[in-house]
């Protein structure tokens, strides 16, 4: 399998280098690197298996929820029952990080259930329903809002952690990170991480970007702030090819049908290679030209649907290279590009593009 990339390969190379050290052929430019390793450790270099993980994003819950981002508890109960019926096992952000770093594996059917903003309903409504199925989740807190009206208190946060939940950051004040300068963004990331870590037993190593917004600078600052893994609200599942600092999450809102939820359980990631401009790059023009190569065998480039914030985007195809070229009309600020394939299985990938007029 082409994605088996264990560090054990380094040991094999080292052994071969020693075995043939008496031969005086052309010098190998990599041989010095191998010879310089005195204590060779078996360090995984990436995922050892081709796993898929569905990451779900919820907010508050109540019996009679009416707000867009509040999910009725009855709907949540049905969704959990379907997950259980389909054999899904819950995993935490730390387990996804272990997997992407090649330090562990995931169940064949893995789901990560996350909650943003830190509403008290996580403990009073969501957790009891999840307990019925043996599921644990992750709570991403707005650090400066903990203890506020309708929010978890620190004692309740510690209660969740003691029950096996992971506690992560949704920053200090929930500002749009792509709108902040570098110093303000770092203050949001570092300050919230330090505040949360001081109140819990474990580390605060997972971040959920506010509003799902990011660019290359934001991602770099999240890493610099000490986060091990970070989550967006890009659509589609995560898998072995996912960037550990841009893990997609499927947002759940009021009114999602169980049929739609069931389709998400079957959906795969659409793999695009050589995306240009690179994901995370800020745009200085409102009509940039994008190119990408469709890597999934069996997916015809001509059967894709490309959109910008729900608006269809036309594209050109190079059948020989399986490359698509498209020029979306961007709005100022954050835009979401989505590429869908509606064959079998359905596939999807999306990402944020930030455009700022000069």
Closest by CA position to 239, among listed 60, 107, 54? 54
Strands (E), the chain: 52-58, 61-62, 71-72, 89-90, 110-116, 138-141, 166-169, 206-208, 229-231, 238-239, 250-251, 268-269, 272-276, 290-294, 304-308, 311-313, 315-318, 323-326, 333-341, 347-355
Length of the chain: 358
pLDDT in tens, the chain (358 residues): 434 333 433 333 333 333 433 333 333 434 343 333 334 344 456 899 999 999 999 999 999 999 999 999 999 999 999 999 999 999 999 999 999 999 999 999 999 999 999 999 999 999 999 999 999 999 999 999 999 999 999 999 999 999 999 999 999 999 999 999 999 999 999 999 999 999 999 999 999 999 999 999 999 999 999 999 999 999 999 999 999 999 999 999 999 999 999 999 999 999 999 999 999 999 999 999 999 999 999 999 999 999 999 999 999 999 999 999 999 999 999 999 999 999 999 999 999 999 998 7
pLDDT for the residue numbered 8:
38
DSSP three-state, residue 229? strand
Q: Where are the alpha helices (DSSP H) in the chain?
A: 8-19, 31-35, 73-85, 93-100, 121, 127-131, 154-162, 182-199, 216-224, 258-266
**CATH classification for the domain delimited by 272-355, as one of 2.60.40.10, 3.30.300.30, 2.40.10.220, 2.60.40.1120:** 2.60.40.10
Q: Where do the domains of the chain lie?
A: 1-45, 52-266, 272-355
- Residue 46: per-residue pLDDT: 85
Which positions ≥6 away from 146 have C-beta within 8 Å?
118, 152, 153, 154, 157, 199
pTM: 0.87
What is the CATH class of 52-266? Answer: alpha beta
């Amino acid at each position: 399998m082409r994605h088996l990339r264990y560090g054990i390969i380094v040991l094999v190379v080292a052994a071969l280098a020693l075995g043939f050290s008496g031969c005086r052929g052309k010098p190998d430019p990599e041989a010095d690197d191998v010879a310089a390793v005195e204590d060779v450790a078996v360090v995984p270099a990436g995922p050892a298996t081709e796993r898929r993980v569905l990451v779900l994003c919820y907010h508050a819950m109540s019996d009679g929820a009416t707000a867009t981002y509040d999910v009725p508890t009855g709907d949540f109960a049905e969704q959990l029952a379907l997950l259980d019926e389909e054999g899904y096992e819950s995993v935490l952000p730390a387990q996804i990080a272990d997997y992407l770093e090649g330090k562990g594996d995931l169940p064949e059917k893995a789901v990560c259930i996350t909650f943003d903003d830190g509403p008290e309903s996580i403990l009073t409504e969501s957790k009891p329903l999840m307990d019925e199925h043996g599921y644990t989740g992750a709570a991403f807190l707005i650090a400066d809002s903990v203890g506020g009206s309708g929010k978890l208190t620190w004692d309740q946060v510690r209660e969740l952690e003691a029950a096996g939940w992971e506690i992560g950051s949704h920053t200090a004040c929930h500002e749009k990170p792509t709108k902040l300068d570098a110093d303000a963004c770092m203050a949001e990331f570092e300050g919230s991480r330090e505040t949360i870590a001081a109140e819990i037993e474990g580390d605060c190593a997972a971040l959920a970007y506010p509003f799902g917004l990011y660019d290359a600078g934001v991602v770099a600052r999240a890493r610099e702030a000490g986060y091990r893994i970070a989550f967006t609200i890009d659509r589609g599942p995560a898998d072995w090819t996912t960037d550990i600092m841009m893990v997609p999450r499927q947002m759940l809102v009021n009114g999602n049908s169980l049929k739609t939820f069931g389709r998400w359980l079957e959906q795969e990631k659409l793999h695009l290679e050589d995306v240009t401009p690179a994901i995370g790059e800020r745009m200085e023009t409102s009509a940039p030209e994008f190119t990408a190569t469709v890597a999934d065998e069996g997916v015809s480039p001509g059967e894709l649907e490309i959109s910008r914030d729900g608006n269809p985007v036309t594209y050109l195809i190079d059948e020989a290279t399986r490359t698509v070229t498209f020029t979306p009309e961007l709005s100022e600020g954050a835009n979401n590009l989505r590429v869908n394939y509606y064959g079998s299985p359905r596939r999807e990938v999306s990402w944020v593009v930030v455009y700022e007029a000069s």
